Amino acid sequence: MYKSLGNYGNTALWYLIPQVVLLGDIDGDGNLELVLGLTDRVVRSYRWIHDSPDDDGQVSGKLVGLNKWECANQIGTVTLNYSPDGTPCLLVSQPGGTFMKISCCSEIKDDTTDNVSTKDLAVTSVDYHPLLSSRMRNPNVSTEILGCIRPPGAAKDDRTNMRYAVATLDGTLMLVQGQDVLWSMQVDHQLFALTKLDVTGDGTEEIVACSWDGQTYILDQEKRSVRFQLEESVRSFCSGYYALDPSKEAAPCFIYTTFSNKVSLHL
CA–CA dist 125, 101 (Å, integer): 8
- With 50 as the cut, is the pLDDT of residue 7 above it? no
User: Are 101 and 84 in contact, with CB atoms under 8 Å apart?
Assistant: no
- With 90 as the cut, is the pLDDT of residue 210 above it? yes
User: Are 28 and 83 in contact, with CB atoms under 8 Å apart?
Assistant: no
- For 92, list phi and psi in degrees, rounded to 5: -115, 115
Predicted pLDDT at 144? 95
pLDDT (average), residues 162-190: 92
Predicted pLDDT at 15? 72
CA–CA dist 148, 188 (Å, integer): 27
To the nearest 5 percent, what fractions of the chain are helix, strand and coil?
0, 55, 45
Predicted pLDDT at 120? 46
Query: Do you know the residue count of the chain?
Result: 267
Q: What is the pTM of this model?
A: 0.83
CA–CA dist 55, 45 (Å, integer): 31
- With 90 as the cut, is the pLDDT of residue 239 above it? yes
Which of helix, strand or coil describes residue 6?
helix
